[in-house]
Chain A
Amino acid sequence: MSIQLNETLYFSSINFNGVHNDFWTACYNETGEGGKFAIDLARRLNPNRYVTRDSSEWTNPWPQEIIPKYAMVPYDSSFKLNFSEVSDLKALDFKARINSKNERFAMMYSGGIDSTTMVVALLKNLTVQELKNVSICTSIPAIVENPVFWEKFIYGKFEIIDSMANKYHDLITRGYTPVTADDGDCIFGTVFGIGLYHNWEVVANKAGFTEARKAEIRAIMPRFSDPEVHYTQFADLLTAYFSIPPDQKFPIVGQAVPNPKFGKLLYDKFARNAQTATVPINSLHDFFWWLIFNVKMLNCGVRGALYYNDHIEPERAIHAIENWYNDPLYQNWSMNNNNNGTKIGHTAATYKQAARDYIYEFDRNPWYRSFKLKLESMALNVVRQDIQLDSSMGRPTSRFGITKDYKLITLEQPDVQEYIRHHLNNFQITWSE
């Protein structure tokens, strides 16, 4: 037996990945309202890997706890450091580790704002000698995100490692501490929110909103990061946004019409979590930020260790990989800087403004500061990764989760399938009328 029915998980993934769709479809068709909701959540926001990091209310089909490494730091409203100071302090920690332990870092550089911040922080605060302990792990899609930065600050100045050919197990085996900024979105907000700000009229039109209601939303949408405009004023729009479209082509679960209640159920679940948050959640952007800062953060933190790694066991990989932004300094900065323009202004162009400014102070590149967009950099590598069929961890697509003792469990294991079915069938909707 790889798992007992009462075992607690540290990670779980309901994921329509093309390989196990039939399994999830079969589960969907035999389970009840709660189980269907959990699978519908993966259909709407593939994958479903949500879990709370603090005491706020969130339920999963199976018993699940947060990995201690990713537990939320206590909210400290007296925290006053700005983004620049936090980033510099983070780099100084690296400096100390290089000088005391000769630690070698492989920075996962995507060319995006989050990973460029890491590199800028190190370039600003480390000596040339200290930077010899820093390697840049990257790829062509990353270089093209900021070719000027590449030319001026990276190429010829660092050891370069091809991230398309070297997964995390390669880096760990070679003695590096891999450092990822994959959790950068968690401190700024989420493109899931930006997508709504950008396209809300289409959502409202499809949902049949009246002209009067659209006019109301039009008046307040520009204030999506104003704490005086509470996110509940957008409840109907969020419900429409969260709904599964009637014409959804993929993934299909054999149900012609998606559950019309799903959008409301999902809104209620996120809203319940926000209502019980340890941090003040007021504006619409607060709402989306909290979603990724809290319940989605685990996925951002461990997905590299679990899905871009074929040979290092989960416990070691998760703890060997450093998440740049999973640091009390950044976490506290994030909890104390809602709605002041440092996370976002009014559109995607100012998303992560504090980091844009930090980078600009160093590289003086106005193009990047004004026009950079959040892109799915890591996905490009992972989607086309070389599948190592000799992996001791099974195919990435089959990895369902890890238990509380960090044992990897996969969908290839019959008792894991039984575990999933059992808990889906017993999952109750407790957060909504």
Chain B
Amino acid sequence: MWEKTTDAKTSHFHMNSFRKRTNGNAYYSPGVDRFFAVDSLDPYSSLEIAQILSSKVPGIAVCLLAVDDLWFDNETAHQHTLKDKNVFAVGASILFSRQMPTVRKFPPNSVIKVDQPSEDFKDGNNATAFQALQEYARFVIQAYHASKIANMYFNSLPMEEYARELLAGQVPAEFETPVDNINGSLKTGVHREITKILYTSNDSTEALERINVMWRENNTPLTLYWRAQFYNLLDVPLPAEFSNGQFNLERYSGYIL
């Protein structure tokens, strides 16, 4: 019974349909009553992205939309809202649920198109703030995926993850369990540090500056290609300070075996 692929029930939660759909996962703000961004990859990542954005906006609902529901993209997300707003998640309406986001799969035709902005977000500070949210959310989505993919490629020794997830209770407390093997001063791990930066930064400029600082302070042989791929996937030029390929050898043991 485990031979299923696209006919498995779980596959219905992956809505990108092989790059054909822009809004498999749509980010909805109950407070604004509008969608503000879309994503089309896996729902687990969308939830984590929503968690990052929860530092700015409470109650984000990650809506897994049906294939035949209205299509929209990042440019038009704010022109759409949920038809049924009284969605319950773990015992409470998503509007009043909690700071942390919610993921729900929605029935067909859950989205409706609206011509006007939400009443309290038509102009003034709120309109400006909503526009900033849209811009930052788009950046976070891209930065998160770039970081996650780069981590997947280069973190070949996720020791902390294994210790925490797979060997819980079986690793001596005093054991060193590095998050990755960059061998820099960073203890949280590259991907986790980037998500932390995204969580607490106010805009993409601030976040990119802080990410640059992280790479600079952890400029080891093993971050050389890691950061190159991160910037490449993010589709921004490698910062000039890293273009010479030099790295800090202070903590480097060399491949001495």
- Please list the residues of chain A having a beta carbon within 8 angstroms of any beta carbon in chain B: 13, 15-19, 46-47, 139-141, 143-144, 147, 150-151, 155, 160, 162, 164-165, 303, 307, 376, 378-380, 382-387, 396-397
Contacts and interface: CB of A to CB of B under 8 A. Distances in A.
A397 B254 contact: yes
Contact of A18 (B172, B175, B254, B257): B254
B223 to A, nearest CB: 12
B243 interface: no
Contact of B171 (A140, A165, A380): A140
Interface in B147-177: 157, 159, 162-163, 166-167, 170-172, 174-177
Contact of B183 (A139, A303, A383): A383
Given A162-B176, A165-B176, A387-B252, 20 more contacts: A17-B256, A18-B221, A18-B249, A18-B254, A140-B162, A140-B167, A140-B176, A143-B171, A144-B162, A147-B170, A164-B175, A303-B257, A307-B253, A379-B257, A383-B253, A383-B257, A386-B251, A387-B253, A397-B249, A397-B256
A162 B172 CA distance: 9
Nearest to B159: A140
B250 interface: yes
B175 A383 contact: no
Contact of B175 (A15, A140, A384, A385): A140
Contacts of A17: 254-256
Contacts of A144: 162, 166-167
B182 to A, nearest CB: 8
B117 interface: no
Interface string B173-202: 011111001010000000000000000000
A46, A143, A396 — most chain B CB neighbours (10 Å): A143
21 contacts: A13-B256, A15-B256, A17-B256, A19-B252, A46-B255, A139-B159, A139-B176, A140-B176, A140-B177, A147-B166, A150-B170, A164-B175, A165-B175, A307-B257, A382-B257, A383-B181, A383-B183, A384-B181, A387-B253, A396-B253, A397-B249
Nearest to B251: A387
Contacts of B174: 162, 165
A396 B166 contact: no
Nearest to B178: A384
A383 B166 contact: no
Contacts of A151: 170
A384 B172 contact: no
Q: What 3 A-B pairs have minimum CB-CB distances, sorted nearest first? A: A17-B254, A397-B254, A140-B159
Interface in B224-257: 249-257
Interface residues of B, number: 26
B166 A384 contact: no
A150 B163 CA distance: 13
Contacts of B159: 139-141
A397 B252 contact: yes
A88 to B, nearest CB: 29
Contacts of B221: 18
Contacts, number: 94
Contacts of B254: 15, 17-19, 396-397
A165 B177 CA distance: 10
Given A380-B157, A384-B183, A18 B252 contact: yes
A109 to B, nearest CB: 13
Contacts of B181: 380, 383-384
A141 B176 contact: no
B178 A383 contact: no
A144 B163 CA distance: 9
A397 to B, nearest CB: 4
A258 B178 CA distance: 39
A150, A307, A378, A387 — most chain B CB neighbours (10 Å): A387
A15, A18, A165 — most chain B CB neighbours (10 Å): A18
Nearest to A156: B170
Contacts of A143: 162, 167, 170-171
A307 B256 contact: yes
A396 B256 contact: yes
A156 B221 CA distance: 37
Contacts of B177: 140
Nearest to A147: B167
Nearest to A397: B254
Interface string B84-97: 00000000000000
B162, B176, B221, B253 — most chain A CB neighbours (10 Å): B253
B253 A164 contact: no
B157, B163, B166 — most chain A CB neighbours (10 Å): B157
B163 A140 contact: yes
A15 B254 CA distance: 9
Nearest to A154: B170
B253 A397 contact: yes
A141 B157 contact: yes
A160 B167 CA distance: 15
B253 to A, nearest CB: 5
Contacts of A376: 257
A301 to B, nearest CB: 12
A386 B251 CA distance: 7
A235 to B, nearest CB: 29
B35 to A, nearest CB: 42
A232 B149 CA distance: 46
A151 B253 CA distance: 32
B243 to A, nearest CB: 17
A165 B173 CA distance: 13
Contacts of B163: 140
A382 B253 contact: yes
Contacts of A147: 166-167, 170
Nearest to B172: A160
Nearest to A47: B256
A394 B6 CA distance: 58
A150 B167 CA distance: 10
Contacts of A162: 172, 174-176
A39 B62 CA distance: 58
Given A162-B174, A165-B176, A382 B256 contact: yes
